[in-house]
Structure 1
Amino acid sequence: MIASYGSLAPKRYMYLEVMKITSSRSNVLGKGGYGVVFKGTLLDGRLVAVKLLHECKGNGSEFVNEVMSIGRTSHVNVVSLFGFCLEGSKRALIYEYMPNNSLDKFIYSEDPKEILGWDKLYAIAIGIARGLEYLHHSCNTRIVHFDIKPQNILLDKDFSPKIADFGLAKLCHTKESKVSMTGARGTIGFIAPEVHSRTVGVVSTKSDVYSYGMMLLEMVGGRRNVKSFVAKSSEKYFPDWIYDHFAQDEGMQACDVTSETAEVARKMTLVGLWCIQVLPIYRPTITRVLEMFERSLDELDMPPKQNFGGLVDISAHNMDVQSASSTSRRSERISPVTSKTLQRPPTL
């Protein structure tokens, strides 16, 4: 399949070459359900991260999808793919090395604001949005990622963010407004509601915007939005809590916000709440998100409150905990988002 892409395909390595690059898999960077990531060095001295996937049968469509999705990209906020290996059941992806690992290692830590600081978190949030805007609107082929979450945001030596893990991405022709697709995509807690139910709306690049908004709120709160071990729903679902406490000083203080950092934290919260509007038509595009970041806090309106708790129940009911969501047709219809156009919250 990859051969059919011709010159568009990244460099292909033999398995023996991969073993040399990783010094026979001696330095493990991380492990997951997909396989193991090793640190390695190319012949020209560049450090790389080699994702060695578990051996599997079949045509490896998800592997090919990741190779061809990221192989088409070139942006400062999207991780670079240097090459791949596809030899029988052995599959590997060779990426640029990110010394500061992934975003989740910082925002779920004991003192995330102490380690990164609000200014750095804010810069990371904008960088991720720029990377998404590139994927959605600036590639020769539009890419919808479908798995935006802190674990898939890598940080370079300067803590600049790079979007990674394109295994679930969907390629779309830039001139097409609708794309039909099937299959499960996403991670529970970050999947847009339209992925669960066709009645909510069509699936589009705004599904990535929803995931981005959920991630923004996790960056603000320094905790996972969904905590299955918490009994009270108000404590269990952070977006619900932060909406109710946004105007209260103690609400922001609980997120380690000081008077000096309040504007940054409140702006990130407002943008995040707009991004997770239940109906896709009320969410901003990622381009609109970047425009919102450029405005002062006083220029941003509070979005209407959503039935956040109900979404958690729907998600838990409709999805297997180990997999992702079912999908529907996707379109790219854009409507402006301001509270002036929303006289009341949408009826769900």
Structure 2
Amino acid sequence: MSLEMDLSVVCLLMLVLVCHGAGHNETFQEARCKKHGPAIRFPFRLDKQPVHCGYDPRFVLSCNQRNETLLQLPTSVTLNIKKIDYASRLIIAADPDNCLPRQLRNFSLSQSPFKFAGQYQDDYALFNCTSKQGDYYDPISCLGVPGYDIYAYSSNNFLGYTDLTNCTKMYNVPSIPSEMIRGDNILHLNWSEPAACVGCEEQGKFCGWKKNTSKLETECYEKPKSNKGKIRKIEGAVATVGSVLVLLVLLAAYRVYSSDKAAKNNQKRIENFLADYKALKPARYTYADIKRITDEFKDKLGQGAYGTVFKGKLSDEIFVAVKILNNSTGNGEEFINEVATMGKIHHVNVIRLVGYCADGFRRALVYDYLPNESLEKFVSSEHGETSSLSWEKLQDIALGMAKGIEYLHQGCDQRILHFDIKPHNILLDDHFNPKISDFGLAKLCSKDQSAVSMTTARGTMGYIAPEVFSRNFGHVSYKSDVYSFGMVLLEMVGGRKTIDDKVENSNQIYFPEWVYNSLDKGEELRIRIEKEGDAQIAKKLTLVGLWCIQWHPVDRPSMNTVVQMLEGEGDKLTMPPSPFASAGPGRMHANMPGRPHYQALEVISETE
């Protein structure tokens, strides 16, 4: 057993005996991030301690690599806790990067148990100035850069005596104490919960959960007489621990050790992968580079399940889109997945990866910036006008998408299954050429085998193929991307979502089924038509979409066939069987012209 394993066993044993373990008779054990750091005890706890050592998640603290004590506020603002005064319920905090004013725009205490410590609060306006503003005002030094300074003016200041000719207003910050904009980098906060803990410290006691009750109530506990008393109690408790308890402690310690080892292995796996990745073109940036490129994350473009996208600038002429991945992205699989996948792709209809950042736990992806945003903006009624693109342009976009997906399926050394084809992930350049993006859910498989095994469904509701939910419809394969592409085509034709979660009337007609029934009856499509030829394009896109959304994968065309269908004449396309007449697995497979009879697809494992 290694030294690290021994330390894990000892630490866990201490927690079991002292922190709520020995019949909950012992006072909560104090913890620190470093020897002279603030003492951490109830209502606070370290994130590595058991949940019952603290009051609730809002009081959870953590230690960074410099052994500083950190508090994460609900608004993603991180504070470095310098001191905790339990008697007066006061914490003295600072910004970890020594620039508290930089957190002003996101700073909020509304969802936290903390409040400003009895100081007068005022509204401030921040100005960017290219010249010094008199002798009465000092700039915020940590925000300024060569060429301009940042000044904060209180709502009580009479700006008539201030020359703001060379200044530009940046933003307002409401109700903050003046110490947040001074250069001291110090902030005083009080906390108020739990109410039953008030007065414990004045009585020379600690506060903790009330024992022998199922209710979440707190009470005051006597402090240990001395450290020697603590040691004797712990020694006595350890001496009485039976063999079963020792076995349980060792097992729990091993799990802690394994978890920590797994986290280190994940970080090492990312570093090894990036070392092998150096031969490819994308550049590696530090987190400081990312902050500089995005101008401190000034221009937010959007947010998704895996992270937030900001507009950035590499030079006066080169703009980029920077996706900051969430810290909760697990073992880094989504990061490695996207970087590794993008490194294999070089196609006009697939977004280009410019670079990436893997700076400790901070990870980011840097892409080309496309000014026309995503296809969703032009096909969803939620985003205003949906008719700004002509039918010819919609057809060009559909063909470009199809060629991009065909390249993913056939043009690389390994087949790439995207699993999240939707309008939001189809970006448009300044000429409205489509580029497929967001490969966080993509999987690789051998080109000579057609199916991939999956343990959980992945994708976006409304675009996920039936077999991804239930294997009764067939194996998951590249045909799952074909289904998603078909739903996007029908959404382009309908000019609105194919699935609308906001519709309250369940009897409202489902657009793909309505358009199929209209074509089946020989009726004209009642959709917007602006000039001659539009109707033919709309019908072609509709027929291709309906072929792609057949319930059983074997009934859908390959993307190579889809490209041929989109490049050909629409009047030569045949009507597909109805995807809506029977969704059950017992439906007869409809034969598509030129398609070989159904053959079972062998299930293979995902490529690691």
**What interval of TM-score do these two structures reach, taking the shorter chain for normalisation?**
0.7 to 0.9
1:227–1:237 Cα contact (<8 Å) kept: no
Aligned to 2:277: 6
Q: 1:119 to 1:85 in 2, by over 3 A?
A: same
Residue 105 of structure 1, aligned match among 374, 377, 382:
377
Question: Equivalences for 1:337-348 in 2 at 5 Å?
Answer: 337-338=592-593
Residue 198 of structure 1, aligned match among 466, 471, 478:
471
SS at match of 2:473: coil
- Cα drift, residue 340 of structure 1: 9.1
Residue 140 of structure 1, aligned match among 413, 421, 427:
413
Q: TM-score, normalised by structure 2?
A: 0.49
Q: Is 1:246 equivalent to 2:501 in the alignment?
A: no
Aligned mates of 2:449, 2:520 — CA distance in 1: 41
Question: Equivalences for 1:45-84 in 2 at 5 Å?
Answer: 45-56=317-328, 58-84=330-356
Q: Is 1:42 equivalent to 2:297 in the alignment?
A: no
- Cα drift, residue 121 of structure 1: 0.5
Identity %: 50
SS at match of 2:298: coil
Residue 278 of structure 1, aligned match among 534, 542, 551:
551
TM-align CA RMSD: 2.5
Aligned to 2:109: none
SS at match of 1:195: helix
1:233–1:309 Cα contact (<8 Å) kept: no
Deviates more, 1:195-204 or 1:280-289: 195-204
Aligned to 2:429: 156
Q: Is 1:222 equivalent to 2:477 in the alignment?
A: no
Aligned mates of 1:303, 1:339 — CA distance in 2: 13
- Cα drift, residue 256 of structure 1: 4.1
Q: Is 1:265 equivalent to 2:538 in the alignment?
A: yes
Aligned to 1:302: 575
**Segments of 4+ moved more than 6 angstroms:** 339-342
Aligned to 2:398: 125
- Cα drift, residue 75 of structure 1: 0.4
SS at match of 1:67: helix
SS at match of 1:274: helix
Aligned mates of 2:451, 2:479 — CA distance in 1: 13
In structure 2, stretches of 5+ residues that fail to align are: 1-268, 585-589, 598-608
- Cα drift, residue 45 of structure 1: 4.3
Q: 1:300 to 1:232 in 2, by over 3 A?
A: farther
Aligned to 1:94: 366
2:307–2:323 Cα contact (<8 Å) kept: yes
Q: Which gives a bigger RCO, structure 1 or 2 (Cα 8 Å, sep 6+)?
A: 1
Task: Identify the structure with the greater helix proportion.
Answer: 1
Deviates more, 1:42-51 or 1:205-214: 42-51
- Cα drift, residue 259 of structure 1: 4.7
- Say how many residue pairs are matched: 318
- Cα drift, residue 247 of structure 1: 5.7
Residue by residue over 1:237-295, the C-alpha shift from the partner in whole angstroms, topping out at 9 and shown as x without a partner, is 21111101126787523344655311100000000000001111110000000111122
Residue by residue over 1:286-311, the C-alpha shift from the partner in whole angstroms, topping out at 9 and shown as x without a partner, is 00001111222221100011227969
Larger Rg: 2
Aligned mates of 1:130, 1:272 — CA distance in 2: 15
Aligned mates of 1:142, 1:257 — CA distance in 2: 40
Q: TM-score, normalised by structure 1?
A: 0.84
In structure 1, stretches of 5+ residues that fail to align are: 312-334, 343-348
